[in-house]
Structure formats: structure tokens, C-alpha cells
Amino acid sequence: MKQQLIAGALAVCLLCAPAASAHWADSALEYAAETAMLPPEAAQTAAPATRAELAYMVTQLLGLETAAPLDAFPDVPDSHPYAQALQRALALGLLRGIDGKLCPDEPVTRQQAFVILSRAFALPDGSLTVLDRFSDRNQLGSWAAPATAGLVQAGLVQGSGGLLRPQDPVSLEELAQLLLNLTGRVCSGSGGTAILPASAALPEGLSIDGDLYLCRSGGGSAKLKDAAVSGRLVIRGSGELCLDNAAAGQLLVCDGGIRLRAASMAQAVSCSLSAVSAGLEVTAEPVPDSPTLNAVLHLSCSEPLPLGAARQLQLQWLLGETVLGEESVVLTDSADLWLAAPIRYDQPLPKGQLRAVLSLGSERITVAQPVNLHAELAVPKIETIQVQATVQTGTALYADMQLRQYIGWVNQGTTATYVNYCSGLSAKLALPDGRTGWVRADAIAISQENYVRASDYTTFEKESYVNQSGYTSPTPYLVWVSLKTQRVNVFLGSAGQWKLAQCFTVATGKNSTPTIAGVFAYQYRQEQWDFGDYYVRPVLVFNGGHAFHSRTYTPSGALLDARLGQPVSAGCIRMRDEDVAWLDQYLPLQSTVVVY
């Protein structure tokens, strides 16, 4: 019944543009006045609501006082009119910020409202397939899809004309209507879905045909006596709650500050985990732009228990050996326990299955479910230089650079990737048909195109690339030569934990004599290389004839070629004097050198 009421109301309040005469919102605005949830600074209820105003409405309705500091969000000054509401919303987990900001004065969108209200009232996520009916589902952020799917699946959001319009703003009166539909009313003792704000007393003999949202604050003790809730009993806040002859279809304790106990231990029914069955379901796998792993643990007990006879057990969520969360659980006839765990993609990803471990005394139940962390999406799209070459005259293809072992023929006009060279003799090509081999150097024309990317990669992209690529080094140093950006990046740490320490602009091999890509080791150093009309120094060799060294100098010591940031060398990596001196001083022999 509750879902039918909400679905009908949402079709009006969230999915249609209200007319100037907002008579449809009269009941909602009366409810808002009764609960004092309308923001005092709001001028017009038909105007778009801000994120701070939504935070005020929800926290005012719940009446919970626990607050979290705003220190991490520089866009919220202490003088902000809704600073207290934002602190409370943070403590409840309703707001989590956008790129390190709370954006309190930005209009709240429909998809943001769906997510925030889903968090506030512990609404379950849904299967993403239910969103396929909406033609604009691609406008819905991946971070908002599970919560929106849950509202759609429950019949709470129906759309209008096949559209969700997730990025449209929401007005204050629309939010008031939605909150009325979600919470029903302030509880008076009996009837349908209702909310008991933290300031309200707990009446005895509650009879609720629907859900009951029960809020407690201040850390004190209260008793829920002779209560019957046909739907969910959702408990938020802090303090001790005694359950005395209370029953509910489902019990959800949302906050760690709530302590539940039975009225009398003598009433407790003997129960063990042998009577409990558990199933684990991953409802949303994380991806880098929405890095939250969502799962639900379904519990059922074959021995029916009244709520007052509940037993406390411990739940631990594990991904491989990484602990994602721990909580105390009240064992009842059945329960769904939800996990929403952020995954850090800028660190080595945990490996293994998602596990839920339930403990009651010495007993233990473990259920597991595979989860794909989509690590491949976390690796930035790092590019390298791929120089193109065109075969000018048909030529033989050889397996070796000395052109002795014939393996095939390459037709005139073939365009291939220029991979390697043997000076003046041969060139190695990667052909479009998958073959790789050597041809005569005079049989090809090498492209003179500039393949360099103008901007450098970010520190996050660089660290993600080397860490997610699994590069190792026998020393605490790792060097990555980015051919695409003409940078030498030096990292400190170890496999999976590399942190960028230095970045130098350099000049790598020109198109005809490229710096060869691969994974090498810093082999040895020489003080100087002399080439008659110029010299370079010092020289740090990592791949035979390839090395880090200075730019070129004439025998008299004048700088011969000052160019950096573009491929101009004969294959080595030219650097400023002070940069190659730093590398010479700090880079240990045998350090890994990645050229890509």
C-alpha cells in the first residue's frame, strides 16, 4: 500500500513540472510546517532547492544531532547559514562531497536527491536492468544508478514519458512532497508508515501498517514496548534502545551509535547459527568513477524469534584479506544487511572474493561472492609514440636485423609501425596483418609527423599507470620514460606503492632513430661520450647504446642543441645538466627503466 501511494505521488511531485498554482503540494507544505523542515532562508518553495537546503530538510525531520567537522570541505565557511545541517548530514553519511567540495549552494538534482534520500531512509539498491525502460538513463551518473534503480524497482519512481530527467533541479515543495510520501507522517501510535523524530517520546502499543523510522539522539536509553511493525523498523541515531515484546517484518540499524538489548535476558530464546541461512549478493560492482562496492547479505532464521528475544552477533565484511567493515547485528527472523564500501583505485587493489563472516560466540558462518573490481578501467589511457612508415618498394621481410633469414614479402604501399632500427642497414616493422620483421632501411619512408602530446599526464595518472601495470624494481627507484609527453618520471617506493618523486622534460629519439620501448635496467655509467664534433656527459646506460645524458656540447663547451620536449636525439634521452646530475646522484644501478 505504501509503495502505491508513493509511486502515485512521485509521478506528480518529481516527474512532472509543477504549474504556477502548486495546490498539489498543499499537504506536503503543511507537513513541512508541522515538522519545521522548510529552510528558514528559503524565499520561494517553488524555486530549485540547494544541496544545503536538502540537508537541512532531512536532518531537521530526523532530529538527529550528531555532527561531523567540515574541515575537509573548504567551500563551507563556518558562517554558512546551513553549516550545522551540513555537519549533521555528513555524520549520517548523506553527503560525501564532489571532488573534495560539498557544493552547498548548488541546485540539487533529481539524481542527487534520489541518492541522498535513499541513504537517509535505508532504501535498498536495485538491479540496474530496471533502468533500461528510460531513454535518458545514460544521463544518470553511475554513482546514482543503484539507488535510483532501487526506487524504481520498489515503484517509488516511475518516470514521465519514458524519462527520468536525472539532472533536472528539484524544488523545495517537490522535496517536501517526496519526504511526506517516504515517511508518511509523524507517528501518533497507529496507522501506516510513520517517522518518530529523535525528540519524540516512544508510545507503548505501536501498531504500524508499513515502515517505522525511529530516531534516537543524545545517547540516552529508551524502550520500545508492545510494538508491531508490519514493514521495516529503521533505527537511526545513538543511544540504547530496549526492545520489549516488539516485532517487525525487518529490522535495520543504520548507525553504529545505537545499542539494542532485550527487555529481559530470561526472555531470550536459545538460538545458534546452525539455524541461520545466509546468502550474499553483489548489487553493484565498483568502477573508478563510481568506486563503491555495494552488496547485501540476506539472513533468515528457521527458528522464529520475537524482536525482544534478539541475539547480538558480529558481522565482518572482507575483500580477500582486506577488512571493508565491521558491525554488530541483531539476529531476528530475517534481515538484509547492506554494504557500501569505497574502493581506492589510487592504491593496490585488494584481491579475492567478497566475504561476509558472521560470528555468534564460538560459531561462525562465512559466505562468499566473486566481485570484479574492474582494475583495467583504473589504468589511465597512457599512450606511446608509434611512428608510421610506408614501404616505397616491395621488399623481403626478414626475422633478423642482418637480413639473413627470409620470412615473407611486404608489398609496395604498405603502411606499418616503425619499431626498431639497425643504423643505415635495416628497420623493424610491425605490419597490419600481425607480422613483425626486418626490411631494408632504404625500402621505407619514415613519417615526419609530430606524435608528441602537448600536455603532461597528472601525478594521479602517472602513479596509477605504474602501480596498476605491476612494474617492479630491485631498488627503491623506478624510472618511466614517457615517449608521448617527453618526460622522465622518477618514482620512489615498491611494487604497487610507487609515488612520483621527480619529473624532467627531456628529448628522446627522433622518428628515424627512436628510443626503443621496453623494460630495462640501469646498467652502468660513463663520465663522457665523445663524437668528434660534440660530446655528452654524464652517461647513464640502460639498454646497450641507449642512455640518459646531457644535451650536446661542442668541444669548446658551447651548447650545441638546446631543444627539449620533442624527439630530436639519435635514440638516447637528452636532459638538462642539473636534471641528469640529479639522476646520476640518486638513481641506483639496476633500477628498472620503463620506456613507453
Q: Are residues 160 and 223 in the same domain?
A: no
Residue 55 C-alpha cell reads as 540537508
Specify if 381 maps to a domain.
no
The burial class, CB within 10 Å (0-12 / 13-18 / 19+), for 136 is middle
Same domain, residue pair 8 and 127: yes
pLDDT at 385: 94
- The residue ranges of DSSP E strands in 165-220, in sequence order, are 190-196, 207-216
Are 270 and 240 in the same domain?
yes
**Residue 38 Cα distances to 42, 174, 187, angstroms:** 7, 12, 19
Q: Are 427 and 352 in the same domain?
A: no
Cell triple for 395 = 621488399
The DSSP secondary structure of 112-160, one letter per residue, reads HHHHHHHHHTTPPP--GGGGGG-TTGGGS-TTTHHHHHHHHHTTS---B
Residues 261 and 245 in one domain: yes
What residues have CB less than 8 Å from 509, skipping those under 6 apart?
Answer: 515, 567, 569, 570, 571, 572
pLDDT in tens, 114-137: 999 998 998 888 888 889 899 999
Query: Which among 201, 219, 229 is positioned nearest to 255, based on CA atoms?
Result: 219
- Whether residue 17 is predicted with pLDDT greater than 60 in this model: the reply is no
pLDDT value of residue 433: 95
pLDDT surpassing 70 at residue 309: no
Q: Are 578 and 519 in contact (CB under 8 A)?
A: no
Contact 292, 342 (CB under 8 A): yes
Q: Is residue 237 part of a domain?
A: yes
pLDDT digits (tens, 9 = 90+) for 460-475: 889 989 988 899 999 9
Share of the chain above pLDDT 90, in %: 53
Q: Are 480 and 489 in contact (CB under 8 A)?
A: yes
Query: Residue 574: which CATH number?
Result: 2.40.440.10
What pLDDT score was predicted for residue 364?
Answer: 86
Domain that holds residue 253: 190-376
Whether the pLDDT of residue 271 is over 60: the answer is no
Q: For residue 35, what is its C-alpha cell?
A: 515538522
**Cα dihedral 539→545→548→550 (10° resolution):** 60
> 219 or 298: which carries more pLDDT confidence?
298
Residue 68 above 70 pLDDT?
A: yes
Residue 272 is predicted with a pLDDT of 63
> End of a domain among 183, 202, 233?
183
Sheet holding 221-253, edge to edge: 190-196, 207-216, 221-253, 257-262
Residue owning grid cell 580477500 = 320
Number of domains in the chain: 4
Q: For residue 265, what pLDDT is reported?
A: 34
Residue 349 binned pLDDT confidence (cut-offs 50, 70, 90): confident
Q: Do 394 and 534 fall into the same domain?
A: no
Q: Using 50, 70 and 90 to split pLDDT, how confident is the model at 28?
A: confident
Residue 101, C-alpha cell as written in the block: 567540495
Highest mean pLDDT out of 147-151, 229-233, 409-413: 409-413
361 occurs within a structural domain: yes
The full 3-state SS of 329-345, as one line of letters, equals: EEECCEEEEEEEEECCC
What's the angle, vertex CA 219, arms to CA 213 and CA 221, rounded to 5?
Answer: 75
264 is written with which cell numbers? 529481559
Residue 62's H or E segment, with its range, is helix 51-62
pLDDT band at 11 (very low <50, low <70, confident <90, very high): very low
| Residue 19 CB contacts under 8 Å (≥ 6 apart), including other chains | none
Any domain includes 451:
no
Length of the chain: 596
Name the grid cell of 167: 539532472
Checking if the pLDDT of 348 tops 80, the result is no
Q: What share of the chain in percent tops pLDDT 70?
A: 91
Are both 173 and 196 inside the same structural domain?
Answer: no
Q: Specify whether the CB–CB gap between 237 and 257 falls below 8 A.
A: yes
**Domain harbouring 410, CATH code:** 2.30.30.40
Residue 508 belongs to a domain: yes
Same domain as 368, residue 315? yes
| Banded pLDDT at 337 (limits 50, 70, 90) | confident
Inter-CA distances, 210 with 13, 30, 182, 213, 518, Å: 21, 22, 11, 10, 64
Q: What is the 3-state secondary structure (H, E, C) of 474-500?
A: CCCEEEEEECCCCEEEEEECCCCCCEE
Q: 398 forms bridges with which residues in the sheet?
A: 406, 438
Residue 165 has pLDDT above 90, yes or no: yes
The pTM of this model reads 0.47
Task: Give the bridge partners for 301, in sequence order.
Answer: 276
Compute the average pLDDT of residues 376-380: 73
Give the single-character DSSP code of 205.
Answer: S
Last residue of a domain, one of 128, 162, 183: 183
CATH number of the domain bearing residue 329: 2.60.40.150
* Residues 433, 541 within the same domain: no
Q: Tell me the β-bridge partners of 502.
A: 490
Q: Are 229 and 354 in the same domain?
A: yes
